[in-house]
Structure 1
């Protein structure tokens, strides 16, 4: 009991004496566990939100698009061992803007009404952007087949509700309108009172709920093969919303093995350095405890408890703070890109939290035991003396130089001792090198810590540089158009010629896009096929002479290399081709070939347009000429892509903040330990007449040398870490063209060096507080 009471008092005294070092240990542990538990919570929170949303809306497993669903098709789908429901789908307009119109009363893939009631419901993000609310009057445009002809119909409607639609959860594609069958028939009756319109006449989609999606998809393809009525069939793996959301969950889970691991490793190095220094400072106390009869086990448990308990405290704080910080940072991105409700209170993963906190605390305790064990082995008398620095190469070289150098002349100036011919800067530098040589392990730990910080900074800058480089390469180097648009009118090219003659545009080029299945060596993939003519000047991709070019992301997915063969299948026709070249493209991905290979087969007619002055009026005029509302400027496409990859930018700024915090903790801890262990040296220098500035210079040299070494290593590791992080965080909309600007190297180095300098400046001002008499007292 008495021994426990003594150890507790000793612990309290050591806590008070070394409170700043202990605070740094708590801080570094908190940062590591904050990230780890934060990403665990973010993954779990997002996964729960996605599963809850798709379950409540009963998202379909298969969606079958047909030209028309007749009684024959209904009879077939009704015979399946699955839930099959019908609805009408058409590309239309909402107040003149392109929209997806759905008509049905299905329980599968049903809209989630968030305000109002069903009837005429509009995606809530679209409503917000267009100032539409429940009760607003809107105009819906759609092309309807009536009899043997098609009619462009406009119907007035009153919005009855706002919704989220599971198949258009992604905000960029969420211009969706869902109309109940009764409401549609009512609207149509008002428009055409003399025609009895039945919604079932317009059915062209089947939404299916099944547990055997792959087998049923194959069966449906075989059943309707060759009859021309089946347009396409896709499952969840090819639906945009589930695909992207599953990708977000996977990316968040993979992030657990990147940043938290880096911070954990750096924290282990900091803990090792700190515990090592503290235990060596406690040699006298350890010797006293041994002399008083305390057992080796009691002493080891006492000092192991410091590391374990401190890291347990830091880990506990991080485990509580992390799930509130990281998920809420990522929540901003998720709600920007997706129409998805994320819980305000994040999910906590008990097992993950216990694992993270327990691992860090256990590591700290083990490190403390390993360091303390060497001291405990010594005799009490030996422990009560200061440790003698081990001889090493640096010290031997230093001694030889000192012997050869002429001793400075000792003189007295204005009541103080001085040395004639002394070079203070050189002496400060030699003292810094000497201190590094005496503590090589601690110096190495510091270099590793700074390396991790600078590598994280480089990664943060590299993320932004890579995204910008990908967009700049796409829109300003590989493709030099200003506006892209599809068109479906026969007089489009004549109107473009007229606009070119009037000076409204500079030039335009037309091409076709085909949606086909590419069959490669390792996989199949639905791809866009760009059918170029001979004289394409707005792209650097060369398809002349029958060349077949493929974007790298598609080629890697299919397992193809240059010279390999693959097949393009359109359902009715197949083309076996040889891959001529693989190119790195960011946004425009697919297969690029010459029109001679395909001829004038059916495809989406599109155009690239170059113009000096791009205005809304010009876009409207191009839309009118093309008969669509889909003309898009490069500026709008850039903004759209940036919105899609906003999580990447959020990660960039989060990384910067945590990297700077980590560098501050590492450098603060080192500087504090440096001053505490060199109080005798500093006091000696003050007695000899050295001013505060000269003493601080030696401390500055030491930290700056270590920071410089760590900065160089971090700059080297910056690109590989950027590549690793972005390769884990791939997004469907963009293929990353990895790049780091030279100025990013400069910024990262300056941030590290300036942080180091600022911390040393703060500590340099505290040198006057060192008591020379107490510091120079003998240990005995």
Structure 2
């Protein structure tokens, strides 16, 4: 009961602090980060009592369970045995010893380290599990940044190869449209252009209407220079077909569709048409359905009429965009012009605000690593105090004593870190799936540098614990090795 009461008090106090931080501090910081970009209403806090209770009960229950399991085994022993120092575990022949060509190259200290790691199996698994969780959090944090930042480059540079879109009025004449197209051809700011029809449509997703944009290019071959039509997984370029349409990947994921399936789309007249899927293309923002004029005519029994232009500019900057926009918005028949350079910059600002999430995960990972390693190292030193005192008596220098203990920590940290890299991939994929909005698909990539940084930070946390524990090693009196066990 003494130890359970201690764990209970720690669990209750920790839960109260966690609830305050989780419901007050984190929302305030996140809100202020978003408030830099948007005009948000005043922040109001609401007491999430069910969530706080559920979280606190879970944490306290796990803490009490761990304490009970740890105490129960010890308290089954008779008092006489508990009063004696805990005898060291007997050593066994380990697997590395059987690999003679490798084992004989190890120094004496390295052999002792290898034997100790295997001898204390509970510490081995506890350290590996704790450190793998730390590394997994770091990989997930860096991976979130990699995946979201990828959206800007992929969507607005690789996939959308055009810089602006000009939309015509619904009542504009063919003559007005042709005149604008001819003027654009001779405009010094414009590099290239292509005509298309873009109409708004809807699909049923779990009973709810989801907006999609149906794109019908006038020249399918030329259109591929303005939009990259390719499959993300295979990297293969997709071709337009007269018996099907190409849809974006996020739409296919939401509707659980694959190539060869049909998608029911309600066009402008409200009548639903079954569209055969001929390909699924990479896309991260919005839902699009691309089809040829022939296939659109087959579906709607109408000829497509181009109502928009995709434009490539010779040089993209704010001045040129403003000049081009002012020049053509004055023309009869033009309803709007949209430029995507500013959209990409705005998206970059949004991503910068998410850096806070990365810092939180790094901080949580650091605390986890510190708590796990500090406690395990503390227990390790306490259990082996006579052993460490003995090697000090035998003439080991302070740094040699430290390396004798810390070498095990570093090896276990490295093993746990490598396991955590694999665990982090799964955690990152889970977070990405949960964080996505219906119209946006985040990337699934984690840069190689993120794995390297995660592993290095984990080792840095381990070395920080070693520095903190160094003083305790220095204070171990050598006389402990001379005391009688009785």
**TM > 0.5 between the two?**
yes
For residue 531 of structure 1, what is the aligned residue in structure 2? Answer: 216
For residue 377 of structure 2, what is the aligned residue in structure 1? Answer: 671
Q: Give the CA deviation at 1:493.
A: 5.8
CA–CA distance in structure 2, aligned partners of residues 582 and 372 of structure 1: 58
For residue 442 of structure 1, what is the aligned residue in structure 2? Answer: 123
For residue 324 of structure 1, what is the aligned residue in structure 2? Answer: 24
Decide whether aligned partners of structure 1 residues 492 and 711 sit closer, same or farther in structure 2, where only a CA change above 3 A counts: farther
Q: Does 1:396 align with 2:92?
A: yes
> Larger radius of gyration, structure 1 or 2?
1
Q: Does 1:586 align with 2:264?
A: no
CA–CA distance in structure 1, aligned partners of residues 413 and 335 of structure 2: 57
CA–CA distance in structure 2, aligned partners of residues 707 and 314 of structure 1: 26
Q: Does 1:544 align with 2:240?
A: yes
Q: Give the CA deviation at 1:431.
A: 2.9
Decide whether aligned partners of structure 1 residues 349 and 688 sit closer, same or farther in structure 2, where only a CA change above 3 A counts: same
Q: Does 1:566 align with 2:278?
A: no
Tell me which of 420, 427, 432 is aligned to 2:113: 432
Structure 1 unaligned spans of 5+: 1-300, 405-422
CA–CA distance in structure 1, aligned partners of residues 458 and 29 of structure 2: 25
For residue 162 of structure 2, what is the aligned residue in structure 1? Answer: 481
Q: Give the CA deviation at 1:399.
A: 12
Q: Give the CA deviation at 1:774.
A: 4.2
Q: Does 1:356 align with 2:62?
A: no
CA–CA distance in structure 1, aligned partners of residues 186 and 124 of structure 2: 71
For residue 710 of structure 1, what is the aligned residue in structure 2? Answer: 416
Q: Give the CA deviation at 1:657.
A: 2.4
Decide whether aligned partners of structure 1 residues 762 and 540 sit closer, same or farther in structure 2, where only a CA change above 3 A counts: same
Q: Does 1:507 align with 2:203?
A: no
**Deviation sequence 1:387-419 (CA, Å, 0-9, x none):** 33455xxx22169969x9xxxxxxxxxxxxxxx
Q: Does 1:615 align with 2:343?
A: no
For residue 136 of structure 2, what is the aligned residue in structure 1? Answer: 455
Structure 1 length-normalised TM: 0.54
**Structure (1/2) with the larger strand percentage:** 1
Q: Give the CA deviation at 1:748.
A: 0.7
CA–CA distance in structure 1, aligned partners of residues 57 and 248 of structure 2: 46
For residue 597 of structure 1, what is the aligned residue in structure 2? Answer: 295
Of the structure 1 ranges 729-738 and 576-585, higher mean CA displacement relative to structure 2 is found in 729-738
* Contact persistence 1:492–1:625 (CA under 8 A): no
Q: Give the CA deviation at 1:762.
A: 4.0
For residue 772 of structure 1, what is the aligned residue in structure 2? Answer: 478
Question: Aligned with 1:507: secondary structure?
Answer: strand
For residue 342 of structure 2, what is the aligned residue in structure 1? Answer: 636
CA–CA distance in structure 2, aligned partners of residues 397 and 635 of structure 1: 65
Q: Does 1:343 align with 2:48?
A: no
For residue 233 of structure 2, what is the aligned residue in structure 1? Answer: none
- 1:465-476 to 2 correspondences below 5 Å: 465-476=146-157
Structure 2 unaligned spans of 5+: 230-237, 298-302
Q: Give the CA deviation at 1:359.
A: 3.2
Q: How many residues align?
A: 457
Q: Give the CA deviation at 1:623.
A: 4.4
**Deviation sequence 1:128-159 (CA, Å, 0-9, x none):** xxxxxxxxxxxxxxxxxxxxxxxxxxxxxxxx
* Contact persistence 1:587–1:735 (CA under 8 A): yes
CA-based RMSD of the aligned residues comes to: 3.2
Question: Aligned with 1:506: secondary structure?
Answer: strand
* Contact persistence 2:196–2:306 (CA under 8 A): no
